[in-house]
Chains A and B, each alone.
Chain A
Amino acid sequence: MAEGTMTLKVARYRPEHREKPYFDEFDVPYREDMVILDALNYIKDEMDGSVTYRWSCRMGVCGSCGMMVNYRPRLTCSTFLREFYPKPVVVQPLENFPVIRDLVVDLTSFMDKLRQVKPWIIRENEAALESGEYLQTPDQVEKYKQFSMCINCMLCYAACPVVAKDPEFLGPAVIALAHRYNLDSRDQGRGERHRAIAVDWGIWDCTFIGECSVACPKDVDPAVAIQREKVAKTTDTMLSMVLPFGGQE
């Protein structure tokens, strides 16, 4: 049973009809347990089938439904209408990404950046299959677990002013994932990853604004991951200058 109505101002971009983006307003029935995604699905089902947006799991684990809700990056499956009711809600595509259509953004740059940091276990020497799995203690897992929670939703990219100013900046999620693998006891690829992230458009471009961690729906805390990589790289450099064979250079 609807308990009222609520207005959604949805950003539209349809280059085959209009050159610039514009807004459409929809009045959707409101229920206390509805999320933005429910409202968008209602709009698409009942009011305007051409509204285009991404979603999948509707429970905050796939990272598909990131959008700007009232100018903040949110997962629309996890943002309740009751947070804003009865005021209208503005829904726009994720900031700092090119817009393909309506609420869908082009994620190619992110995919390219992710590949650059090699987010997988790198081994110098692979153990033989017969020796079994690489074992880890709970303490070893705890070291990187937080940073493995990233769902690649890119809310952190929408929140980061450095991403806005410098499109080449690797960005919070990518560096946090590099950090996750650097901390993994099974991994031996720290040197390779340092070459990928200890660059002008990597960790050094970050100025610890911290908004990425505020936006993150999974408490990954990418800001802290980046700062720790800065510390690690600086100490590695100092050590490699003092000890001729030291450091991970």
Chain B
Amino acid sequence: MRRGNPPDPPSLGDVLDWSEASEVRPGQRRPRPRGPQARLEAMAWGLFSAGGFVAAVLLPIHVAILGIAFAAGWLPDKALSYSRILHLARNPLTKVYLLAVISLPLYHWAHRFRFAIHHQFGIHLRRLVAVACYGAAVAGTGLAVWVLLRI
């Protein structure tokens, strides 16, 4: 049974706690992101969204062709010949297309994985996790640019 004045301050994670009055405790509110960070969140979501569309619309057919149709022998003989594919890949339009197809789904994954870490694995460290996830996507993009320039 509790009597008298409540302990001060209450600690989070206790099964028993003291309620708050009309305002959230001052230490709890995170500082409001101004300017660049708010913009970054919007851009991250924009990239996530674009990546989601690319993954939904373009990735299945590529997997169907390279992963399944080729192994099953359904493709015509010369379809994946070195010279033909090299010629196709050297076209600048193809390179732009390939950059989008490789890079955007990485941002889609990065965004979803970031929130899975927070909500499903219960890890906070928000800034570190964000930098790690989007950083991985940026690294993948850089790698894609390098490979495409090599072709």
Contacts and interface: CB of A to CB of B under 8 A. Distances in A.
Please classify the interface of chain A as helix (H, G, I), strand (E, B), loop, or mixed, using the class held by over half of its residues: helix
Interface string B2-24: 10000000000001110111111
B15 to A, nearest CB: 7
Interface string A20-51: 10000000000000000000000000000000
A204 B44 CA distance: 10
Given A230-B45, A234-B42, A199 B115 contact: no
B19 A108 contact: yes
B87 interface: no
B1 A16 contact: yes
B46 A238 contact: yes
A230 B115 CA distance: 15
B122 A165 contact: yes
B30 A168 contact: yes
Interface in A167-223: 168, 195, 198-201, 204-205, 207
Nearest to A231: B49
A20 B20 CA distance: 19
Given A165-B119, A198-B41, A234 B23 contact: no
Interface residues of A, number: 33
Interface of B: 1-2, 15-17, 19-24, 28-30, 32-33, 38-39, 41-43, 45-46, 49, 112, 115, 118-119, 122, 126
B19 A201 contact: no
A19 B30 CA distance: 32
Contacts of B16: 15, 19
Which 3 A-B pairs rank lowest in CB-CB distance, beginning with the nearest?
Answer: A237-B42, A234-B46, A234-B42
B118 A98 contact: no
Contacts of B38: 198-199, 237
A166 B115 CA distance: 11
B11 to A, nearest CB: 14
Contacts of A88: none
A168 B17 contact: no
A111 B30 CA distance: 18
B147 to A, nearest CB: 28
Contacts of A166: 118-119
A217 to B, nearest CB: 25
A161 interface: yes
Nearest to B34: A195
Given A168-B28, A199-B33, A207-B119, A234 B45 contact: yes
Contacts of B41: 198, 200, 204
B1 A161 contact: no
Contact of A108 (B21, B30, B45, B49): B21
